[in-house]
Structure 1
Amino acid sequence: MAIIQLASNNPAFSFLIKKNPASGMVFRSIRKGVANGWFSEEGIYHMFFQDAQNTVSFNAKDEPDFDYLNLSKYTSPFAYLQMINEFFKTVYTKENDQDKAGFQNRIVFSMIYARKEHYLRFFNQYFEGYDFIVVQKAEKYYEVTILSNGKLADLLKISNVFCLFLAMNSKEPFQVEDDLIQKYIQFLIDLDVPYFIRYLFAQNFLFRPKTFQKFKSQLEQTEKYPIKLQFGNTHLQRRSAIKSRFNFSNSIVDIGCGEGFYALPFAQKLEASLFYYAIDINPDLLLHVEKRAQQLEIENIGTYASLDYFLENAPSEKVDVLLTEVIEHMSLDQAEKLIQQVLNFVNVERFIITTPNRDFNVFYELEGEFRNEDHQFESTTEEFQNWLSDIVQRSSQFEVDFFQIGDTVAGISTSNGAIIRRKGVE
C-alpha cells in the first residue's frame, strides 16, 4: 500500500480536484493493484494504493514478482507518482481561476523510499515558498510533508518533480522517454526553479549527448538569470575543458590524481613512447589507479606518493602538468610554493590548474561557505587570476591564460581554469 493525503483550505478544493465529497470512494486501477480515493472531511482527500494478492506492481530490477517482505509494495516513488497523475492530473494541466495563492495547501506521503537521501535536503533548500517536513521512519524510508501557500497546481507539480527524482534514483527500472522529459521540463519552467535543480535534472535525465542538446535550450529558460548549461556533471565538464587544451604530445604529470579520473582515459591517448605520472599522497587511491590500469591493460601509468618523490626521479623530457581541484585543499602559501616548485624543477610546456569559483557559490546557496569542508580557501575569478598572474610573472619563461569551466549562470562559471605555457609553446 501507499498512502497520500492532499489537503487545502481553499473553499473550491473539491471543485479543483474534481472529486465530490458526497460521491463516496473512488477506485482507479494502477498496474496490478487498485488505488482508492475519498474525503475524510471537507478539505482533506486521501488516496490508498494496494497491490492485488501475491503481486508487486513496483518492484526493483531482478526482484521476484512477489515477496511479502518487499517494501516497494508500500513505498515506491513510482506508486506515488502514478497516484498523483491518476487522481489529480487535471489540476495542473488545466488552468483554473479558482486555484489562487494564499490558501494553505498540504500533501503528505506516508512513507516513501529515498535511496539518495540528500535529494530530500536539496528540495527543501532550493524550492523557495515550499516547506518540506521530513520524518525518518526507517533507513531510507521517510514520511514527507510538503506545505505551500501558493497554487494547488504548483504544489502538485513540485510533488511530481520530487517523486520523479526519487523514482529515478530508486532500484526500480525506469525508461526515460522524450515525452516524459518534455513534461517535466515544462514543470520546471512553470515553477521557475533555481539553477541547481536544473543541473540535477540534466544529470539525471539528459545523460545522453543527443538528448541533452535537444532539450538544453528549454531547460535554460528562466526569468531569474541567464543560464548556459554544458553536458555532463562538473567533473566531466572539467575533463572536457582540460582535454581540449592538451594535445597529448608530451608525457603528463598529474598532481593529486585521485582515483584516476584523468589518468586512466588520458594515458590511453598518449603515444607508446610517452608516460603518465600519477601523483597522490593517498596510498589507497594510488592502489586503485594501479589496479584499474592493470584491468584496462594500460602500461604507461606510473604512480608516485608525493611530488618530492617524483622530483627525485623526474625525467628530463618535456611534460604537461595537471593540477585540478587540488590547490584549495591547502593554504594559499602552500599552493604558491607547489606551483613554483613545478615551474622551477619540472620541464613544463603546459601546466593546467583548476579550482572552484567562489563567485558561483551563491547559485549553490553557499554564501559564506566553502563547497567542501576540507577546502582551506576558495577564490573568486578576480582573486584567482591576480594571485596566479603574480606567481607566473616572476619568471621570464612562462605566460598564463585563463579560461572558465562548466555551466555559467549570469555569466559566472562553476570553476576557474588557467593554462601556464612556456613561452613559444602553442
Structure 2
Amino acid sequence: MIIKLKSDNKNFLDILHKNPNTDQGLYLKELKNGIVIGNVIAENEYHCVFLDGKNSYLPEEGNQIDFQSYCSPLLALNMVTEFFNHLYKENKVLDETMISWLEKSYDAIDTEKCTIEVPTFFIDSNWYKNGKYLLSKYIDGITLVHKIGNNFELKIEAATVREAMQKFSLVVLFTHFTNRYAVYTFIDDYFIQKHITMFTNLIGVPYFVFYLFIKRIMRSPVQFEKFKPQLEAYFDNQVQFGFTDTHQSRKEFICGKINLDESVLDFGCGELQYYKLLNKKGFTADYYAYDEVDFKHIADKIQESDRTDNLIWTQNLDELKGFEGQIILSEVIEHNSLKDAKELLIWIRDNTKFTQLFVTTPDKDFNVNYELTEEFRHDDHDFELSNAEFATLINEIFPNPKTFHGVGDCVKGVYPTSAVIIQKKVENVRL
C-alpha cells in the first residue's frame, strides 16, 4: 500500500515532523510482519509505503496471497498512526503546541490545504453502492473512484494538514469496521477516545455519523456510558444518544413493557425478532405470530431448535378474531396505504380484546437527520407520519387510555420512532 500526502504549505514537512535533512528524509518502522516506510518526495509531498514480510493483514490463513497488505483500510489506519499520531490531539491543544525548531505553533503554520491519496483502497460493504459512498454524503472532501472489483482510489481534501489526517482516519476506520472481509480489531478505551477526538475536532459532523460510530464501533454499554457525555457535548447537549440502534431500541422498549405471563399477538411479525427477545426474558404465555408474508419456516425452525410449544403461526386473519391479550404492531402500518393502515387499526379495535396495543412507526420529522428530504426512510414505505400526525391518527380511532412515547436517540426533541401504548377500553360503570 502507498499513501500520498500533498500540500503547498511551505512548512508541510515540519507539520508532519519529517525533516528531509535527517536520514535523507527516509523513515522505516516495523509494522506487524512488515516494514512501513516514510519518504520525502519533495517539500510539498510525502509518501508512506508498506512492504509486507508475510500475511500481516490476512483474514484467512488458508489464502496464500495476502492482497489485503496492498489495500486494507486497517493497514492504512495503522500506517498513519505510526507516522502521524501527534496530529490526533484535540484542536485546542494542538493549536497551542509549539514546533520547537520553528518557534511557531501549529495554529500559526497549519493554514494551507492538504490532500491524501490512496491509489488502491479496499471496500467490501454496502456503504458504497450506486456509485456513491455513504460518508461522502455527510463529510465533504471524500472522493472515491472505482477501479476494479472491490478496489477504489481514495482521495481526501481538507483545509489543513490535521483536518485531512483526521478525515482520512475516520474514513479508513469506518471502512474497516463495515467491510465483510476484515481482520478483527480490539477496541479499547484509548482507541475510542482517539477517534472521538477526531470527530469533535471537525466542524459540522452530523448526528448520523456519530450514530454510526456508536453502533458500529463501541462494543459495550459500559464503554458507551463512559464516552457518551463527550459525544453529546459536541451538539451542545441537544442530542441524547442511546447505545442500541433504532431497531433494537424499539424491541427493547416494547419487550420491556410486555407482561411475560399474558398472551401476545405479533401482528406483522416478520422474522419473529420480538418473540426471540421475549423468549430470552422468560416469556411463557402463548405467542401468536401473524404476517401476510410466509415466515412459517422460521417459526418451525425456532420451535425445533428451542423446543418451544407456545409459538403459534397463522396467516388466517379470521383465526385472530376475539383474541385476548397484548398486541404488537411494530413498524407495520407504514407498509400499507394510509387508508389500509386505518382499516387495519379499526379491525384490531373492533375484532380483538387487547389489554395493551403497542404501535410504532417512523417519525418523518427525524428523517432530516439521515439527510433525507422528500424520500421515505425505506423504499417499501407507502407513507410516513410526523409525531403529531401519528397522534391524530391514533386518537381518531382509539378513545382508550393511552400514552405516547418517543423511542431511540433524541435530536432536538425529535425521536426516530413514534410509539403509543393503548390500554384496554374502560368500561362504563353504572352506579
TM-score (norm 1): 0.89
| Distance in 2 between residues matched to 1:58 and 1:353, nearest whole Å | 47
Output one character per residue of 1:277-309: Cα deviation in whole Å (capped at 9) or x when no partner. 1111221x332232133212222111122xxx1
| Distance in 2 between residues matched to 1:63 and 1:390, nearest whole Å | 62
Q: How does 1:100-111 map to 2 (within 5 A)?
A: 100-101=110-111, 103-111=112-120
| Distance in 2 between residues matched to 1:42 and 1:80, nearest whole Å | 22
Which one of the candidate residues 408, 419, 425 is aligned to 1:423? 425
AA at the equivalent of 1:154: E
| Distance in 1 between residues matched to 2:235 and 2:319, nearest whole Å | 56
| Distance in 2 between residues matched to 1:185 and 1:30, nearest whole Å | 24
Q: Any conservation in 1 of the 2:187–2:218 contact (CA below 8 Å)?
A: no
AA at the equivalent of 2:197: Q
Range with greater deviation from structure 2 (135-144 or 376-385): 135-144
Cross-structure match for 1:326 = 332
Cross-structure match for 1:135 = 145
AA at the equivalent of 1:168: F
| Distance in 1 between residues matched to 2:17 and 2:190, nearest whole Å | 25
SS in 2 for 1:370: coil
Q: Any conservation in 2 of the 1:12–1:98 contact (CA below 8 Å)?
A: no
Which one of the candidate residues 262, 266, 270 is aligned to 1:250? 262
Output one character per residue of 1:140-191: Cα deviation in whole Å (capped at 9) or x when no partner. 222111112x221121112112212222234202111111111111211222
Alignment gaps of 5+ in structure 1? none
SS in 1 for 2:146: strand
Q: Any conservation in 1 of the 2:18–2:25 contact (CA below 8 Å)?
A: no
SS in 1 for 2:125: coil
TM-score (norm 2): 0.88
The count of residues paired between Structure 1 and Structure 2 equals 405
| Distance in 1 between residues matched to 2:236 and 2:364, nearest whole Å | 20
Output one character per residue of 1:320-351: Cα deviation in whole Å (capped at 9) or x when no partner. 11111111111111000000001100121111
Q: 1:315 to 1:391 in 2, by over 3 A?
A: closer
Residue 225 of structure 1 deviates from its aligned partner by 6.2
Alignment gaps of 5+ in structure 2? 96-105
**Could you say what the CA RMSD is over the residues aligned between the two structures, in angstroms?**
2.1
Residue 28 of structure 1 deviates from its aligned partner by 2.1
Is residue 97 of structure 2 the alignment partner of residue 90 of structure 1?
A: no
Is residue 18 of structure 2 the alignment partner of residue 37 of structure 1?
A: no
Cross-structure match for 1:155 = 164
Range with greater deviation from structure 2 (23-32 or 170-179): 23-32
Cross-structure match for 1:20 = 19
| Distance in 1 between residues matched to 2:253 and 2:147, nearest whole Å | 44
AA at the equivalent of 2:115: R
Q: Any conservation in 2 of the 1:258–1:286 contact (CA below 8 Å)?
A: no
Residue 137 of structure 1 deviates from its aligned partner by 2.4
Residue 194 of structure 1 deviates from its aligned partner by 1.6
AA at the equivalent of 1:126: Y
Q: 1:271 to 1:26 in 2, by over 3 A?
A: closer
| Distance in 1 between residues matched to 2:189 and 2:172, nearest whole Å | 18
Cross-structure match for 1:409 = 411
Q: 1:37 to 1:267 in 2, by over 3 A?
A: closer
Output one character per residue of 1:356-396: Cα deviation in whole Å (capped at 9) or x when no partner. 01111111111222111111111111111112111113xxx
SS in 2 for 1:4: strand
Residue 270 of structure 1 deviates from its aligned partner by 6.3
Which one of the candidate residues 190, 199, 212 is aligned to 1:188? 199
| Distance in 2 between residues matched to 1:317 and 1:42, nearest whole Å | 77
Cross-structure match for 1:57 = 56
Is residue 229 of structure 2 the alignment partner of residue 228 of structure 1?
A: no
SS in 1 for 2:375: coil
Q: Any conservation in 2 of the 1:112–1:141 contact (CA below 8 Å)?
A: yes
Q: Any conservation in 1 of the 2:363–2:418 contact (CA below 8 Å)?
A: yes
Residue 201 of structure 1 deviates from its aligned partner by 1.0
Q: Any conservation in 1 of the 2:88–2:194 contact (CA below 8 Å)?
A: no
Is residue 214 of structure 2 the alignment partner of residue 199 of structure 1?
A: no
Residue 138 of structure 1 deviates from its aligned partner by 2.8
Residue 265 of structure 1 deviates from its aligned partner by 2.4
SS in 1 for 2:309: coil
AA at the equivalent of 1:63: E
| Distance in 1 between residues matched to 2:251 and 2:358, nearest whole Å | 11
Q: How does 1:169-188 map to 2 (within 5 A)?
A: 169-170=178-179, 171-188=182-199
Q: Any conservation in 1 of the 2:2–2:49 contact (CA below 8 Å)?
A: yes
Q: Any conservation in 2 of the 1:227–1:409 contact (CA below 8 Å)?
A: yes
Instruction: State the identity as a percent.
Output: 29
Q: How does 1:265-284 map to 2 (within 5 A)?
A: 265-267=277-279, 269=281, 272=284, 274-283=285-294
| Distance in 2 between residues matched to 1:117 and 1:74, nearest whole Å | 21
Residue 412 of structure 1 deviates from its aligned partner by 0.9
Residue 202 of structure 1 deviates from its aligned partner by 0.8
Is residue 307 of structure 2 the alignment partner of residue 297 of structure 1?
A: yes
| Distance in 2 between residues matched to 1:214 and 1:97, nearest whole Å | 30
SS in 2 for 1:18: coil
| Distance in 1 between residues matched to 2:290 and 2:280, nearest whole Å | 17
SS in 2 for 1:220: helix
AA at the equivalent of 1:222: Y
| Distance in 1 between residues matched to 2:44 and 2:138, nearest whole Å | 28
Q: 1:250 to 1:88 in 2, by over 3 A?
A: same
Which one of the candidate residues 344, 347, 354 is aligned to 1:338? 344
Cross-structure match for 2:402 = 400
Residue 121 of structure 1 deviates from its aligned partner by 2.1
